[in-house]
Amino acid sequence: MKFELQHADPASDARTGLITTAHGQIRTPIFMPVGTCGSVKGVHIKELEEQVKAQIILGNTYHLYLRPGLDVLRQAGGLHRFNGWQHPILTDSGGFQVFSLTGIRKLKEEGCEFRSHIDGSKHIFTPENVMDTERTIGADIIMAFDECPPGNSDYGYARRSLGLTQRWLDRCIKRFNETEPLYGYEQTLFPIVQGCTFKDLRREAAMYVADKGADGNAIGGLAVGEPTEVMYEMIETVNEILPKDRPRYLMGVGTPQNILEAIERGVDMFDCVMPTRNGRNAMLFTYDGTMNMRNKKWENDFSPIDPNGCETDRIYTKAYLHHLFKAQELLAMQIASIHNLSFYLRLVTDARTHIEQGDFTAWKRSITDNLGRRI
């Protein structure tokens, strides 16, 4: 993987760049739609390409490991061939999913034992077998196995957790270097910075990760319940240390406002389930604010969903989408998901344009308040 810094905003740490992988290029800042089980829920690949204009999508190691399973993925030739997406893919390590299985998982130095949420069967994730699993899935960018501690962890737990994450990172790197890609193209391993909301732990974690010299780095363990201002402070703390010539990926964040604030602080890559999850629940994001499409106010509004949006936004009206949600038609969730994803991609693309023009900060300030209001 290669990363080329292209533009820097004169009034902030925002920047643009170009990531080159075996499956294509990614222009940053970028939002990555989440395809948990190898599929972005309700959105066809052609819609991802032509309307959403996605450049890279995510797969989830935990879910893909359980279903369809590694044998199927290996026989298929990896996730790209299995799901038909021929552009870059990133896989998380499954750490967040495993550690959210409170009550059905056991953490120890070797790894994490857990029971499947599907059938209760017993499994273990270790740094070594997670690297093997991500090799089998075949994503272009893969994540190290880490512990994602709760956002309200006390200092003692956070320090112990960080030590475990660092030891696991060393084992991940060792295993990654000992193994070869399975499908004829290179993969890239990103370490993850943890440390909860403690600045000294975040600094320690960032320095430990930076010393590994990876091609890119991730920031994890944020947007898990802490105040947004604390999240922004942790991003600033970490990005003061992470190398500027490598992409920075903020995991699982977040709202449009969160994304713009993080871009301003030097983050390049984002993912979140919010566009599709909220869309399935009738919430649409727009530059004018959020719309609840179940509200009666849309019943007789025959204007396009978003006249400046993607093709789907221009074809369908607010009144029709309101009707679909009231009638519980599956098409409602599909339209809303396409709209939200295309909006998120439009947001980061517009951010890139304004960084290039040198007026990102002023543009961000002019739109932030509207993004958070309810229409």
Q: Please tell me the predicted confidence (pLDDT) of residue 365.
A: 97
Q: Is 221 annotated as a binding residue?
A: yes
Residue 270 has, within 13 A of its CA and on its CB side, a CA count of 30
Determine the pLDDT at residue 150.
82
Catalytic residue numbers read 92, 271
Relative to beta strand 248-250, strand 217-219 is parallel
What pLDDT, on a 0 to 100 scale, did the predictor assign at position 350?
A: 98
Assign residue 33 a region (left: φ > 0; alpha: ψ between -120 and 50; beta: otherwise).
beta
CB atoms within 10 A of CB 354: 20
Question: How many CA atoms, within 13 angstroms, populate the side-chain half-sphere of residue 62?
Answer: 24
Instruction: Give pLDDT, residue 131.
Output: 98
Residues of the chain with pLDDT under 50: none
Is 59 marked as binding a ligand?
Answer: no
DSSP for 64-119, please give it.
Answer: HHHTT-HHHHHHHTSHHHHH---S-EEEE-SHHHHHT-TTSEEE-SS-EEEE-TTT
94 contacts 146 by C-beta, under 8 angstroms? no
Q: Where do the domains of the chain lie, and which CATH numbers do they carry?
A: 29-279 (3.20.20.105)
Q: What is the pLDDT of residue 151?
A: 81
Angle at which helices 330-357 and 318-326 pack, to 10 degrees? 140
360-371 vs 330-357: helix crossing angle, rounded to 10: 150
Q: Is 93 annotated as a binding residue?
A: yes
Question: Is residue 343 part of an annotated ligand binding site?
Answer: no
Strand pairing class (192-193; 283-286): unpaired
- Report yes or no on whether pTM surpasses 0.85: yes
Q: Is 96 annotated as a binding residue?
A: yes
